[in-house]
């Protein structure tokens, strides 16, 4: 059988997930949660959803009476992730929550605790763990294929000029922060999974605000430097005033890089031994399948996709903001 998934929040990423469901062997789109009747009608028609599997934010908690739904996939603005994860857990449903998991380490822990208490599993939608170029970066870095990695440069940014000023990405209460929350989380992740280590300390700097009418509540751009136990430094920038999407790792006996690197792809990469040649995969389908298979087999989710991974990233993100706010080097909590 397939795991029955309800999508909560039918915006841009929910639409990206359509192709993931189309290719998934272990997950089926079986329900929706939306505040917009026109979207409800469209999705209900597209997926032949029964009326009883269509929810609004007001009727969300009634999911607990619906055995047709096994898991809720939360694709709401960041500021709603915590509340809806906890409510889904209390309704007895497994959860996939999009990145960034929440705004603080404390919130992430509350979400993990709520899922544990309810006996449901919690995953974060970290799709790049299912992408072969990234698996190769992990292999090259974690196995020291070119010797120890000394320096990583990982940056992701999009030009947001022209964004409507009321877009939720610009609101602190819904986004939690600027590009660091939305994009920088991928840079933090890539440093952690390529080195297979947790960073020790961070320094960070906010950049200039070039679009003051948009960036009143959240940062427009930020750069940071992480040190790792093995001696590597990971330097990153995330920005809303230009397009950048790259990863470069310099090791003692060579290098490896992707460009584009952290967006949806398709990715292009090479090492000092030559170009990469990996297939394009449907990252969303691969993620749904890994999660679906584990839950159907009643096995714990692999740690790279579980809630704890989102918490570990948030530890670093909290540290980056603290370092930029104070101008001081911040020692990151371990464990
Ligand atoms: P979006 O604005 O396109 O969609 C958000 C949805 O939430 C909309 O359907 C909107 O109607 C609904 N919503 C409900 N209450 C709302 C409120 N109070 N304010 C605003 N919207 C409300 O956003 P998106 O780009 O789909 O992002 C959703 C989540 O998915 C974010 O957490 C984002 O970080 C994540 N995301 C992940 C990826 C990825 O590659 N994994 C890519 C894009 C977005």
pLDDT at 237: 98
pLDDT at 335: 76
pLDDT at 42: 98
Q: Is the CB of 307 under 6 A from ligand 1?
A: no
Please check whether residue 307 lies inside any domain of the structure: no
Q: How many domains does the chain have?
A: 2
Residues 11 and 76 in one domain: yes
* Substitution candidate for ligand 1 out of 73, 76, 291 with most atoms within 8 A of CB: 76
Residues 102 and 120 in one domain: yes
Q: Is the CB of 9 under 6 A from ligand 1?
A: yes
Please determine, for the modelled complex, whether the ipTM score is greater than 0.90: yes
Q: Is the CB of 77 under 6 A from ligand 1?
A: yes
pLDDT in tens, the chain (335 residues): 999 999 999 999 999 999 999 999 999 999 999 999 999 999 999 999 999 999 999 999 999 999 999 999 999 999 999 999 999 999 999 999 999 999 999 999 999 999 999 999 999 999 999 999 999 999 999 999 999 999 999 999 999 999 999 999 999 999 999 999 999 999 999 999 999 999 999 999 999 999 999 999 999 999 999 999 999 999 999 999 999 999 999 999 999 999 999 999 999 999 999 999 999 999 999 999 999 999 999 999 999 999 999 999 999 999 999 999 999 999 999 87
Q: Which residue's C-alpha comes closest to atom 38 of ligand 1?
A: 13
**Options 82, 84, 93, 99, the catalytic residue:** 99
Residues 119 and 229 in one domain: no
99 included as an active-site residue: yes
Q: Is the CB of 78 under 6 A from ligand 1?
A: yes
The Å distance, Cα 294 to ligand 1 centre, comes to 26
The Å distance, Cα 84 to ligand 1 centre, comes to 13
List the domain range (segments joined by +) for residue 15: 3-127+285-302
Residues 98 and 156 in one domain: no
Residues 293 and 174 in one domain: no
The Å distance, Cα 116 to ligand 1 centre, comes to 25
299 included as an active-site residue: no
What CATH number did the domain enclosing 156 receive? 3.30.360.10
The Å distance, Cα 9 to ligand 1 centre, comes to 7
Residues 227 and 112 in one domain: no
The Å distance, Cα 259 to ligand 1 centre, comes to 26
Q: Which residue's C-alpha comes closest to atom 29 of ligand 1?
A: 75
Q: Is the CB of 13 under 6 A from ligand 1?
A: yes
Cβ contact 306:123 at 8 Å: yes
What CATH number did the domain enclosing 297 receive? 3.40.50.720
Q: Enter the pTM of the model.
A: 0.98
pLDDT at 41: 98
Residues 327 and 179 in one domain: yes
Residues 14 and 123 in one domain: yes
């Amino acid at each position: 059988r397939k795991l029955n998934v309800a999508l909560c929040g039918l915006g841009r990423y929910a639409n990206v997930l359509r192709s993931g469901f189309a290719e998934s062997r272990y997950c089926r789109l079986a329900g929706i949660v939306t505040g917009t009747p026109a979207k409800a009608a469209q999705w209900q028609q597209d997926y032949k959803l029964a009326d009883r599997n269509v929810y609004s934010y007001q009727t969300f908690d009634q999911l607990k009476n619906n055995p047709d739904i096994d898991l809720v996939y939360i694709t709401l603005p960041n500021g709603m992730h915590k509340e809806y994860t906890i409510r889904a857990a209390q309704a007895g449903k497994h959860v996939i929550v999009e990145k960034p998991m929440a705004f603080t380490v404390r919130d992430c822990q509350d979400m993990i605790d709520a899922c544990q208490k309810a006996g449901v599993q919690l995953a974060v939608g970290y799709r790049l763990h299912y992408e072969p170029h990234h698996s190769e970066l992990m292999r090259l870095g974690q196995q020291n294929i070119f010797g120890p990695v000394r320096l990583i440069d990982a940056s992701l940014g999009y030009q947001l000029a022209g964004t409507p000023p009321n877009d939720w990405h610009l609101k602190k209460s819904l986004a939690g922060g600027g590009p660091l929350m939305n994009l920088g989380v991928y840079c933090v992740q890539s440093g952690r999974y390529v080195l297979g280590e947790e960073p020790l300390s961070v320094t960070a700097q906010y950049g200039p605000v070039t679009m003051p009418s948009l960036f009143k509540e959240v940062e427009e751009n930020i750069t940071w430097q992480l040190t790792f136990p093995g001696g590597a430094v990971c330097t990153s920038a995330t920005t809303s005033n230009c397009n950048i999407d790259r990863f470069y790792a310099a090791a003692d006996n060579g290098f490896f890089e992707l460009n584009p690197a952290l967006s949806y792809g398709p990715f292009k990469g090479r090492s000092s031994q030559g170009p990469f040649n990996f297939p394009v995969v449907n990252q969303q389908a691969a993620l749904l399948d890994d999660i679906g298979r584990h839950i159907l087999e009643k096995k714990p989710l692999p740690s790279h996709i579980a809630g704890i991974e989102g918490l570990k990233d948030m530890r670093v993100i909290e540290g980056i903001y603290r370092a930029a706010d104070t101008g001081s080097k911040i020692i990151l909590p371990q464990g």
